[in-house]
Amino acid sequence: MPILLALTSALVYGIADYCGGRASRVFASALVTFVGQVVSLTLVVGIVLVAGTPVPDGSTFAWGTFGGAAGALGLVSLYHSFANGAMTVVAPLSAVTGAIVPVAVGLVDGERPGGIAYAGIALALVAVALISGAVGERDRPTPRPIMALALFAGLCFGVLFVALDRTDPDSGLWPLAAARMSSVPILFVLVLVLRARPGRHRGPLLLAVLTGFLDMAANLAYLEAVRGGMLSVVAVVSSLYPASTVALAFALDRERVDRWQGVGMGLAAAALVLVTLGRA
């Protein structure tokens, strides 16, 4: 079940990222992220109040707040990278650090997946590197500063993955509520500083709203997955989100996927199988 939930989170994360990236081609990425996070905050607060989950301890709130701040910075960076580079490159690059950070933390904490899972983890990282265009020619050039920003976004996501893992398993959706309570004010200040304003186009705004729904759904799936499985395994599976982002960019934006990127996608699928088989 944790692997299935992690896979679901990866699929939804990828779709949400694509929507946010498309909206950021018209609106500032900070504004797109702010709108999405406000939608997410409204959803999660409503769910928490209806569920009646007891308020957790300060530690859970602290980890949720920390993760929310990191996640907000990661999304702004990722959406900006999408708007100024190729999604088929940016999404997998962000996933590299997004996977490495929680894997390293999990191993330090004493997690020991099966040997096959280790092979799957290694294969997943190779797959991400290939999908990113590390080998072969890229159809749409991506400036190095944008690639660096994509890696920073992944680092932020890795921190978010670890932070959610540190929260109380019995705290319901409070960790996600705490995360949004910290991310929304941060993004509001950033929008004011950048003087970001919505344009007249309604399409990008609707995409930003949709991003908020999808992002919350993906976070919920990940939170439930990491509560039932090992951080080092669940985070890797969730970090396979570039597959859906790349697929959408290929189908809707006509971004070309070269031979090596195709090989990387195949390796990503194989990595998922290995991680699943070795999770015990």
**Distance between CA atoms of residues 125 and 32, nearest Å:** 29
pTM listed for this prediction: 0.84
Q: pLDDT value at position 131? A: 64
Over 60: is that where the pLDDT of 172 sits? yes
| C-alpha distances in Å from residue 12, one per residue of 115, 175, 238 | 28, 19, 10
Coil vs helix vs strand at 138: coil
Work out the percent of the chain whose per-residue pLDDT is above 70.
88
pLDDT at 140: 56
